[in-house]
Chain A
């Protein structure tokens, strides 16, 4: 069975602070990993994804995530957050050969101006 764990359920930061959201997964094979973001009042949308190759992937709006296979982790980072980054962030995995993605519970990020 596959699972995704997001450790931080609520994060509150001030603008310009650095961000790291944790994501750990459990799966016994090759995985594809995603971070999705849901801004207030908007559709859930893809932030970045890892399929293969360079384990450090860059996404939109200055976000990046690093796949560390030995730690089963795919943490999301941003060096300096902005008020507009206030949103809910979901980590997800899809095992190769599966139609069924698994999502974490989400992390609500609030950035104070």
Chain B
């Protein structure tokens, strides 16, 4: 069966520090991968998605970037965090051979920037 992991679960970082959040998927190959930010009362905002290694699409201009160095690894990064980057970040995957499949979500990372 497929599983998705995210770490860390919680992170407290000072403003201006770098960020690296990691997401890995097991039990499937060539998944579509997604990074979302979830804010209370505002739903899920899609930040990035990837349909293959090295292929990243950004949905919103922001202080963050994403990379996919391996097939089942998706990393969310920042060189200098802003206060407004605080939030709950979710990674998700869907089957890569379809554009309309169900998404499977990770446990999320709660980021607090002080």
| Whole-angstrom CA separation of A6 from B49 in the bound complex | 24
Other-chain contact of B100, A51, A105, A106 (Cβ < 8 Å): A51
Whether the pair A99, B99 counts as a contact (CB closer than 8 A) is: yes
Whether the pair B44, A98 counts as a contact (CB closer than 8 A) is: no
**In the assembled complex, how far is the CB of residue A88 from the closest CB belonging to chain B, in whole angstroms?**
9
Minimal Cβ-Cβ distance residue in A for B36: A103
Determine if B106 is an interface residue (Cβ-Cβ < 8 Å).
Answer: yes
Residues of chain A within 8 A of B43, CB atoms compared = 6, 90, 103-106
Please, what's the 1-or-0 string for B92-114, where 1 marks a CB less than 8 Å from any CB in chain A? 10000001101111111000000
Residues of chain B within 8 A of A103, CB atoms compared = 43-44
Determine if A96 is an interface residue (Cβ-Cβ < 8 Å).
Answer: yes
Q: How large is the interface on B (under 10, 10 to 19, 20 to 34, 35 or more residues)?
A: 20 to 34
Residues of A participating in the B interface, judged by any CB pair closer than 8 Å: 6, 9, 32, 34, 36, 43-46, 49, 51, 90, 94, 96-106
Minimal Cβ-Cβ distance residue in B for A103: B44
Residues of chain A within 8 A of B32, CB atoms compared = 99
Residues of B participating in the A interface, judged by any CB pair closer than 8 Å: 32, 41-44, 46, 49, 51, 59, 90, 92, 99-100, 102-108
Whether the pair B99, A97 counts as a contact (CB closer than 8 A) is: yes
Whether the pair A43, B105 counts as a contact (CB closer than 8 A) is: yes
Q: Given A43-B105, A43-B106, A100-B49 in contact, is the A9-B41 Cβ separation under 8 Å?
A: yes
Residues of chain A within 8 A of B100, CB atoms compared = 32, 51, 94, 96-98
| Whole-angstrom CA separation of A97 from B103 in the bound complex | 15
Most chain B C-beta atoms within 10 Å of own C-beta, residue among A6, A34, A44, A51: A44
Q: Given A44-B90, A99-B51, A100-B46 in contact, is the A34-B102 Cβ separation under 8 Å?
A: yes
Minimal Cβ-Cβ distance residue in B for A91: B43
What are 17 inter-chain pairs, A to B, with CB distance below 8 A?
A6-B43, A9-B41, A36-B105, A45-B105, A46-B104, A49-B102, A96-B99, A96-B100, A97-B99, A97-B100, A99-B32, A100-B49, A103-B43, A105-B42, A105-B43, A106-B41, A106-B43
